[in-house]
């Protein structure tokens, strides 16, 4: 057998004199308390990403998992385990709906996840395969919610499209392109304080959960006053954009 020895134990072994006997025992793994909620592991990479979007956008169980390999239980964890679980969900969905594009598969899996302390993979949405591919206008925009840390606003989060969190595919999820998505930061009088998407808007695919983080230094540069976020989204056949606004907040 191959044994991995790390940390202080490895140092102690290396310092032993030649001829010394080493005994290897099987440590008893302590019982871990069962948790009903799922949280992001502390060693996971966290966002925001360079473009202000949350990170990770999709996560799966991958910490101290006991898996069966050729009849032998092995404790494993990390991206290699979590990515395999997400890939399996994607494969099930792709097999059920072969006409879905990779971007559509990602959108469906992301919105099927249950949002907690961090993104998680929820019930297997892929097994139902009841995804609709029509393009029903207009674009649906969920509530525009401010995100805070220690009482300070640092970003905004909202959803595009209609879905049921946890298992939306069982109810039917529509894949829908957004021709133009605009996210702006406005002052109390409606004047533009900062445009957070490209000048001509961004293209998106529904359903989607969107988040943006504004660095504190950028808020400080705007000066004191009242601000709010505005979201406008337009489908290819939609005449007037769907508009939603966040609650107002004050910069310090």
Look at residue 224 in the predicted model and tell me its pLDDT.
84
User: What is the tens place of the pLDDT at every residue in 37-57?
Assistant: 566 777 777 666 666 666 777
- Write out the residue range of the structural domain in which residue 172 sits: 45-251
Kindly state the average pLDDT of the residues 150-168: 73
- The percentage of residues in the chain with a pLDDT greater than 90, rounded to a whole number, is 12
Kindly state the average pLDDT of the residues 189-203: 88
- The answer to whether position 18 is within a domain reads no
Which pTM does this prediction carry? 0.48
Look at residue 135 in the predicted model and tell me its pLDDT.
33
Look at residue 37 in the predicted model and tell me its pLDDT.
55
Look at residue 170 in the predicted model and tell me its pLDDT.
42
Contact yes or no for 107/57 (Cβ under 8 A): no
Segment among 39-53, 86-100, 142-156, 197-211 with least mean pLDDT: 39-53
- The answer to whether position 78 is within a domain reads yes
- Residues 205, 104: Cα–Cα separation, whole Å: 7
More confident: 47 or 102? 102
Residue 250, token pair as written in the block: 């004050």
- The answer to whether position 235 is within a domain reads yes
Look at residue 27 in the predicted model and tell me its pLDDT.
63
Tell me how many domains the chain contains.
Answer: 1
Domain CATH code at residue 85: 2.60.40.10
Question: Residue 118: is its pLDDT beyond 50?
Answer: no
Distances (CA, A) of 4 to 7, 9, 19, 37: 10, 10, 21, 32
Q: Pick from 31, 32, 56: which is nearest to 43 by CA?
A: 56
- The answer to whether position 23 is within a domain reads no
- The percentage of residues in the chain with a pLDDT greater than 70, rounded to a whole number, is 64
Task: Let me know the angle formed at the C-alpha of 193 by 162 and 201, rounded to the nearest 5 degrees.
Answer: 45
Look at residue 3 in the predicted model and tell me its pLDDT.
67
- The answer to whether position 167 is within a domain reads yes
Contact yes or no for 147/155 (Cβ under 8 A): yes
Look at residue 234 in the predicted model and tell me its pLDDT.
86
Question: Residue 221: is its pLDDT beyond 70?
Answer: yes
Q: CB-hemisphere CA count at 13 Å for 148?
A: 12
Residue 113, token pair as written in the block: 């996840």
- The answer to whether position 33 is within a domain reads no
Look at residue 230 in the predicted model and tell me its pLDDT.
95
- The answer to whether position 150 is within a domain reads yes
- Highest average pLDDT, of 85-99, 127-141, 164-178, 192-206, comes from 192-206
- The answer to whether position 16 is within a domain reads no
The pLDDT-based confidence of 164 (bands split at 50, 70, 90) is low
């Amino acid at each position: 057998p191959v044994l991995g020895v790390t940390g202080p134990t490895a140092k102690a072994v290396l310092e032993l004199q030649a001829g010394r006997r080493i005994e290897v025992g099987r440590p008893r793994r302590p019982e871990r308390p069962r948790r009903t909620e799922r949280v992001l592991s502390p060693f996971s990479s966290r966002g925001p990403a360079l473009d202000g979007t949350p990170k990770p956008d999709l996560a799966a169980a991958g910490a101290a998992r006991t898996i069966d390999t050729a009849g032998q239980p092995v404790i494993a964890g990390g991206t290699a385990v979590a990515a395999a679980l997400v890939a399996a969900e994607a494969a099930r969905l792709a097999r059920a709906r072969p006409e879905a594009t990779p971007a559509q598969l990602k959108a469906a899996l992301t919105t099927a996840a249950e949002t907690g302390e961090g993104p998680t993979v929820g019930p297997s949405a892929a097994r139902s395969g009841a995804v609709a591919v029509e393009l029903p206008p207009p674009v649906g925009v969920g509530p525009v919610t401010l995100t805070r840390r220690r009482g300070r606003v640092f970003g905004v989060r909202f959803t595009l499209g209609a879905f049921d969190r946890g298992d939306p595919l069982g109810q039917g999820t529509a894949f829908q392109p957004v021709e133009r998505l605009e996210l702006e930061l406005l002052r109390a009088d409606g004047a533009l304080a900062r445009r957070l998407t490209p000048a001509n808007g961004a293209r998106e695919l529904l359903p989607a959960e969107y988040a943006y983080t504004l660095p504190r230094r950028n808020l400080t540069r705007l000066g004191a006053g009242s601000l709010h976020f505005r979201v406008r989204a337009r489908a290819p056949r939609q005449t007037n954009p769907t508009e939603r606004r966040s609650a107002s907040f004050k910069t310090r």
